[in-house]
Amino acid sequence: MTSPSKAAIITGAASGIGRALAVHYARQGVVSVIGTFPGDPHDPEETLRLVKEANGEAVIHEVDVRTTASVDALAQRAVDEYGRLDYAIANAGILRNSPLGEMTDERWHDMLNVDLTGVLRTLRAGAERMTDGGALVAVSSIAGGVYGWEEHAHYAAAKAGVLGLVRSVAVELGPRQIRANAVIPGLIETPQSLDPVNSLGPEGLKRAGNDIPWGRVGTPEEVASVIGFLTSDDSRYITGQALVVDGGLTVKMRA
């Protein structure tokens, strides 16, 4: 292909919010490296198909955010494939249920290794290879980013940690005009939230949707477009911030 104007890496792009973002970028003329985790059953080819359907361009790359070398290789793939890297999106995440009494050190570390250190690895690898003027976005959660969530202390701690990480990176990379921001999704219908064991499941999402001011849970596309905004020139003076995307869930007073 001819040299693209912008290139992105997206972790966890074989499903959910990451997939929707690859499609959003395709519509904007941004090429993507679709990060896919082979340990999960998601189909990265479907993401690629949707990108092509939107007249976009992308390549699939296997990545495990638990390993620095693997994440570095993902970021390098953008440079090798497209000659540039403009946006790095730390979207990959896991969600596990664990009451405090069963929160072994191993469970704690396994969660933070993906949901917090995995974000560090992605932002670091991206920033190292990024064209000055680029943008980083990390995906936090209302669990940790705004609320506590019973039996999810490790997840909430990781997602709260993401916010401190992003703020500090924003300050450090400001002189290079590289911005770092976070999105804080509310309840979004994806494979993660549809898991009835570790999250709400289909029934729980339906019930929760009735209590959201907007009247329903969100779609992956509704988060993806906000990430797109945070990497676009339209937000060029926004850095170190976190945008809540939740249909009004967290501003509703409950007695």
The footprint of ligand NAD (CB under 6 A) covers: 11-12, 14-18, 37, 40, 42, 63-66, 91-95, 114, 139, 141, 185, 187-188, 190-193, 220
Give the shortest CB-170-to-ligand NAD separation in angstroms: 19
Nearer to ligand NAD, 9 or 139 (CB): 139
Residue nearest to ligand NAD (CB): 16
Q: Cα separation of 18 and 22, whole Å? A: 6
Rounded (10°) CA dihedral 218, 223, 229, 231: 170
Give the shortest CB-218-to-ligand NAD separation in angstroms: 7
What positions carry a catalytic annotation?
Answer: 155
Enter the tokens of residue 225. Answer: 């477009």
CA nearest 10: which of 1, 2, 25? 25
Nearer to ligand NAD, 8 or 187 (CB): 187
Name residues whose C-beta falls within 8 Å of residue 125's C-beta, 6 or more positions apart in sequence: 68, 71, 72, 74, 75, 76, 88
Give the shortest CB-90-to-ligand NAD separation in angstroms: 8
Enter the tokens of residue 11. Answer: 């972790």
Nearer to ligand NAD, 92 or 165 (CB): 92
Q: Give, to the nearest 10 degrees, the angle between helix 105-115 and helix 117-129.
A: 30
Give the shortest CB-1-to-ligand NAD separation in angstroms: 25
Nearer to ligand NAD, 4 or 114 (CB): 114
